Every structure is written in C-alpha cells, then in structure tokens.
Amino acid sequence: MIRKLQRKFILVSMVVLLTVLLVIIGTVNVVNYASVVRDADELLEVLSANRGRFPDRGFGENHKIPPHWSPEIPFESRFFSVVYDAQTGEVLQTDTGHIISVTAAEATAMADQVLAEKADSGFLDTFRFLRCIENGRIRIIFLDCGRKLDSFHSFLLASTLISLLGVTAVGILLLLLSRRIVRPLSESYAKQKQFITNAGHEIKTPLTIIRADLDVLEMEFGENEWLQDIQKQTQRLTTLTNDLVMLSRMEEDRPVGTMIEFPLSDVVSEAADSFHTLAQAQHKKLSMQVQPMLSFTGNEKAIHQLVTLLLDNALKYSPADSTISLELSQQGRWFRLRVRNVSVYPLPDGNLNVLFERFYRADPARSTIGGHGIGLSVAKAITEQHKGKIQASSPDATSLIITVLLPVN
C-alpha cells in the first residue's frame, strides 16, 4: 500500500508539474507566434495602402509609422508583390526589387498558388501574404518572415528542452525524496499492521482458553442458553481475529499460501454448491452460470474463500424470495467472476467502493445481520494478491453487482 501511495504521489506531482509547464510554455509560445503574425500583418497593411511599397518619406500622412516600430523597418523588411488583372487574371507587374532570394518567376508561381487557393491572407512557407484589390487589379504582397519564424522555432525548441530537463530533474528528486516524505506514514502504517498481527496472536490464546473452559462447563452443567451465547460470541471474535490477521498479512504484500494451477471452474462451483441449502432455508434462490474447463494459477484456498465471501455477503444483504446469481466466464485476458443480488438496504450514493472499506456495514443499526463488515475488504485483498481487480456497481440503485477480474495466466 505504501509503495502504491508513493507511486501515486510521484505520478500526481509529475502530472501537476507537466500541466503547469504545458500551460506556461503553450501560452508564451502562442503569444510569441501571435506577435510575429501581428507585426507581419501590420507591415502588409502599410504595403497594401502604398501599392506594394513603403512611402518615400516616413510612412506618409495617412499611414504614419506606429510608435512601436523602428524607422529602420522599411530597410530591414524583405518583400515582393505580384499584380494581376482582376478580369483576365493576366500578370501585369512583378516587383522583386526588395528581395534577392526570390526571382520574378518564383514570385509569379507563388502568387499563382495563392490566387488559386483564393485566400486573403496567410502563410506560404515562410512568407506571410496579403491579397488586396486596387482599381480592378489584384495585388498579392509577400513578406519574408523567415528570421522571425526561425527565432520563434528556436525559442519553442529551447523552452521545450529546458522544460523536459526540468521535469526529468524534478522526477529524479521526487524518486529520491518520496521515500523520505512518506516515511512517517509508512512507519505508522507498519506499526498499525504489526499491532493488528500481534494483537491477533495475543487474543487467540485467551479465546482458546475460553473455549476450553466452555467445554468443561458444558460437561459439568450441560448446555444452556448462556453458555451457547458465550460460545457463539467467542466463535465470532475468533473469526474476526483470523480475518484481521489474514487481511493485515495480505496488505503487507506477503503471499498467502502457495500459487499453483488449479481448475477454477470446479473450485467456484464447489464453493457455490455449499450455499444452495442456506439459500433455500432463507427462501432465496441461487443461480449459477460457470463456464467449464477454466484453469487459473493462484492460491486455491484463497479463491475458494473469495467466492464464499461474495456469496455470503449477497445472502446476508438480499431480501427473501430474491435471486442471487453467480457467473464465471473468460473475457479476453481476464476471468470474470460476477455476483449479483438485490440489496435489502439502500446502497450508498456515489462511489460504491466504500463497500470494500473495513467494518463498513450496509445495515445502519449494525445489529440485524451477522458479520463484522470486513468480508468485502478481505475479498478485495485476495483479488489484489492475485493481480486482479474488483469493483462494485449498481445499474438500478437496488441491485448490487460485485465483479472480480482475475488475469488469465
């Protein structure tokens, strides 16, 4: 359990860190890219208003240079334009005087591509373009954004690499420090488990003595209701102690019994057969659907106990004249064991996994039904010992379905 908690702590921490970094890096780079596009569009608007050129003096009376622009921008910008006749589509003019890397033929080919796509603005490779109408003519202006895009890509790559290095460093630190962080909880949990185990062994001795004394009293005074009541409560306390000790051992990841291959179908059927008479005595019906010839590698005694616990829980918490169904089948890579019953008590709202908590009882009074409320906890521990999964569900808020998935070996 502590190892699971440690892994969850590391996983949650890494997910939170990655989420925060993704938000920060994503926001910064989106803003950076938007800035590149905005600056390019502002330049293209000025070029469009001045027929594909910058004004000779300043930016003109109607298109003055924006405050955040440098006066050197007209000399730093690399651009070209192509003019078409709006009616015939004939190329009227190609201006490549402000760029050396693009020939007139290349400029015309790029403009033809934009004209065919009928896009008003966008990117073509590293060039930002704008299509505008001028007195029956179409002018397509291209602005070279290669340097700014290279800077954007470099920043994106650098920020990503730095973030990955940071995440890796934090992950290593979490691996080194997580043990120290969970150590107090680990020690407390270990002491709790040790206490349960020790207390269980200590309680067994007086219980054995009490049972022996009861046998002597029965021989001397005969059976009576008081001695029977003591015998009954002693047996109940013995069962509770044994279950707590076994549950504590399983939660410590200590193997319970030997893992061997055994006929799963036969074990499940045998465990369920013993409940037919009990179900009839309570005016209930037990329905079984067990797929034959299924084999499983695990602890046969523990799986037998798992089936017993599930059926015992279903019988205790189902009303008279109801049906308890047990199903066993192979579903792909899993053996699915399912027990279904109608609940005599209201099921808890929301998460039904509370049913697997120790000492949880559906009976509010905790008196009308026998048991101690750890049966499903033991069932969960047995399932997890066999690398399986267990879950509770209720399709109609009255029926309870306990599903156990055991891996096919």
> Would you say residue 181 has pLDDT above 80?
no
Mean pLDDT, residues 238-254: 66
User: What pLDDT does 324 receive?
Assistant: 92
Going by pLDDT thresholds of 50, 70 and 90, the confidence category of residue 60 is: very low
Q: Which is nearest to 387 in space by CA: 401, 357, 408?
A: 408
- Contacts for 50 with CB less than 8 Å, ≥ 6 apart: 60, 63
More confident residue, 264 or 360: 264
More confident residue, 235 or 143: 143
Alpha-carbon 244 to chain mean position: 31
Do 312 and 286 contact (CB within 8 A), yes or no? no
User: What pLDDT does 405 receive?
Assistant: 94
Mean pLDDT, residues 336-343: 92
Q: Which is nearest to 86 in space by CA: 134, 142, 141?
A: 134
Tokens representing residue 279 in the block: 């179900």
* Residue 211 exposed, middle or buried by CB count within 10 Å (0-12, 13-18, 19+): middle
pLDDT in tens, 1-39: 667 777 788 888 889 999 999 999 999 999 999 999 998
Full set of structural domains in the chain with CATH = 78-144 (3.30.450.30), 260-407 (3.30.565.10)
More confident residue, 204 or 222: 222
User: What pLDDT does 367 receive?
Assistant: 47
According to DSSP H, which parts of 56-143 are helical?
73-76, 104-117
Please name the residue that has the structure tokens 């488990």: 193
User: What pLDDT does 46 receive?
Assistant: 87
Tokens representing residue 118 in the block: 């009928």
The pLDDT > 90 percentage for the chain reads 35
Q: Tell me the three state secondary structure of residue 262.
A: strand
> Would you say residue 295 has pLDDT above 80?
yes
To the nearest whole number, what is the mean pLDDT of the chain? 82
> Would you say residue 140 has pLDDT above 90?
yes
Q: What DSSP line would sit under 323-342, residue for residue? A: EEEEEEEEETTEEEEEEEEE
Whether the predicted model's global pTM rises above the 0.85 cut:
no
User: What pLDDT does 53 receive?
Assistant: 85
Alpha-carbon 189 to chain mean position: 26
CA 81 – CA 83 distance, rounded (Å): 7
In terms of average pLDDT, the best of 10-19, 49-58, 66-75, 246-255 is 10-19
User: What pLDDT does 146 receive?
Assistant: 92
More confident residue, 391 or 363: 391
Going by pLDDT thresholds of 50, 70 and 90, the confidence category of residue 349 is: low
> Would you say residue 178 has pLDDT above 70?
yes
User: What pLDDT does 32 receive?
Assistant: 93
According to DSSP H, which parts of 222-258 are helical?
225-251
Q: Which is nearest to 298 in space by CA: 387, 396, 176?
A: 387
Tell me the HSE value of 317 on the side-chain side, using a 13 A CA sphere. Answer: 30
